[in-house]
Amino acid sequence: MLAQAFFDGDTVEIARAMVGKYLVRQYDGITLCARITETEAYVGRLDKACHAYGCRKTERTKTLYAPPGTAYVYLIYGMHCCLNFVTEPEGEPAAVLIRGLIPRYNQDIIAENRFHCKCADMNAYQKKNFLNGPGKVCAGMKIDRSLNALPYGSEALFICGQMEDAGLPPCPDDNGSLNIKVGKRIGIDYAQEAIDFPWRFYL
């Protein structure tokens, strides 16, 4: 897994650096792995789109103040979970949201979690919308609120630089150079000037 120091720095830079890394989820003797294709940065001290804007601390946001690398999992619309990793020094509320993935190991299990079918049985719509959104990421990787505040270093959920770092065979499709694009974050129309922050990174 990535060293904890990876998460202990500038959140926007970390969000960009996460693209192309691998999210690993382990449960019930199963290992799932997917490549990170889209992230967004959220920085509480100045970002009106962040749950902890102005360093607001509530029962929901207290995880954002945890040590770097901690998992922050919250619920949206009362039904979809979103996965973030806490960044910056402990006590500084900031995190990176995982918005998109490409499955790389045990793809059929990820497909079962999302659509109750194997990859080969997915229709065109399902293939297009497999893991292209934060709620879809959590559904496919079997991530729920029970993982909120999971500390850095847990084998249940972590990020690594290469699949081999998790004891998995590498994917030949991932050998090329990364073409990382930058844009505005999605779904934050309420955030005033923060709407225009170029804090989304994607392949």
Mean pLDDT computed over every residue of the chain:
95
Average pLDDT of span 175-188:
92
Give the number of C-alpha atoms closer than 13 A to the C-alpha of residue 182, restricted to the C-beta side.
10
Q: At residue 180, what is the residue type?
A: I
Average pLDDT of span 162-185:
92
Residue 121 binned pLDDT confidence (cut-offs 50, 70, 90): very high
Rounded Cα distance, 75 and 83, in Å: 9
**Structure confidence at residue 55 (pLDDT):** 82
Taking 80 as the threshold, does the pLDDT of residue 78 lie above it?
no
Taking 90 as the threshold, does the pLDDT of residue 176 lie above it?
no
> What ranges in the chain are assigned the alpha helix state H?
11-18, 107-115, 124-128, 134-140
Residue closest to 1 by CA, chosen among 31, 22, 30: 22
For the segment 164-174, what is each residue's pLDDT rounded down to a tens digit?
999 999 998 89
**Structure confidence at residue 157 (pLDDT):** 98
Rounded Cα distance, 123 and 155, in Å: 33
For the segment 19-77, what is each residue's pLDDT rounded down to a tens digit?
999 999 999 999 999 999 999 999 988 888 888 888 888 888 999 999 999 999 998 87
**Structure confidence at residue 56 (pLDDT):** 84
**Structure confidence at residue 51 (pLDDT):** 84
Taking 90 as the threshold, does the pLDDT of residue 122 lie above it?
yes
Residue 161 binned pLDDT confidence (cut-offs 50, 70, 90): very high
**Structure confidence at residue 65 (pLDDT):** 96
Residue 202 binned pLDDT confidence (cut-offs 50, 70, 90): very high
Taking 90 as the threshold, does the pLDDT of residue 175 lie above it?
no
Rounded Cα distance, 79 and 106, in Å: 25
Give percent of the chain above pLDDT 70: 100
